[in-house]
């Protein structure tokens, strides 16, 4: 063999990946809050140029995203130190969010090394997900997650976001129809707010921990969040 993958093996791998994707999506429809399923979906998605190229272009078109593509900065979190920051700062609000949601700080990062720009983009999006929750104000219930995914999708071509939205809507239709109004309201709001917000792709949030959350939202043009969502510490 000359180093290229045999066509039959290529088709087999494609079929296997499609099967994994299908199984993960079914699991997502049953339980949209299962993070392991979300990770499985992310891993099963093809990392082809058709998928990653448009995301890379979206990063490159924003000042913070272009900077990130140059220096591959990683998020640094010391929850204990953030909890000692003044009320109302991003860091303090994030620390309160982590405590309230029962998030294990050690699980916030996979701490995987990156060797190219595309790997950095994927790790950056993973690492900053919960920061986006706090900055945008969307909660972690299904409605809030749908809102945040719609926000993502309005800022860049996120195929994973589209899958998560589809799974959440199917879950609503099949199992949680009574919860349709708050879910659709948050989804609609996420799309509208994300489209009106300055791009947050590639932002180095390490520089923002000690800044007032309301000032950060104003800087990016994020409109007021509704009750039930993540709010600044009083």
The pTM (predicted TM-score) of the whole model is 0.88
Give every CB contact of residue 200 below 8 A, 6+ residues apart in sequence. 64, 132, 135, 155, 220
- Candidates 175, 168, 174; CA nearest to 28 is 168
Q: What are phi and psi for residue 166, nearest 5 degrees?
A: -60, -45
Neighbours of 29 (CB within 10 A): 19
**82-120 pLDDT, tens digit each:** 999 999 999 999 999 999 999 887 776 667 889 999 999
- Measured distance between the N- and C-terminal CA atoms of the chain, rounded to whole angstroms: 65
**9-68 pLDDT, tens digit each:** 555 566 566 778 888 899 999 999 998 888 888 888 878 898 899 999 999 999 999 999
Calculate the average pLDDT of the chain.
89
Give every CB contact of residue 62 below 8 A, 6+ residues apart in sequence. 199, 201, 202
Tokens of 206: 């390490």
């Amino acid at each position: 063999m000359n180093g290229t993958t045999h066509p039959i093996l290529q088709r087999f791998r494609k079929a296997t990946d499609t099967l994994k994707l299908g199984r993960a999506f079914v699991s997502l429809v049953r339980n949209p809050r299962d993070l392991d399923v979300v990770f499985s979906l992310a891993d099963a998605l093809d990392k082809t140029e058709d998928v990653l190229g448009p995301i890379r272009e979206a990063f490159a078109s924003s000042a913070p995203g272009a900077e990130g593509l140059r220096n591959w900065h990683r998020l640094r979190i010391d929850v204990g130190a953030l909890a000692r920051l003044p009320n109302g700062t991003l860091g303090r609000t994030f620390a309160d969010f982590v405590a309230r949601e029962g998030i294990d700080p050690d699980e916030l990062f996979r701490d995987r090394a990156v060797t190219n720009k595309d790997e950095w983009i994927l790790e950056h999006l993973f690492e900053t997900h919960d920061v986006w929750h706090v900055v945008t104000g969307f909660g972690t219930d299904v409605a809030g997650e749908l809102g945040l995914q719609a926000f993502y999708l309005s800022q860049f071509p996120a195929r994973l976001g589209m899958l998560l939205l589809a799974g959440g809507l199917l879950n609503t239709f099949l199992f949680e129809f009574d919860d349709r109004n708050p879910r659709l309201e948050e989804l609609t709001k996420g799309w509208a707010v994300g489209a009106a917000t300055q791009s947050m792709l590639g932002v180095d949030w390490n520089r923002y921990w000690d800044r007032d959350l309301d000032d950060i939202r104003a800087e990016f043009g994020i409109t007021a969040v509704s009750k039930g969502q993540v709010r600044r510490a009083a």
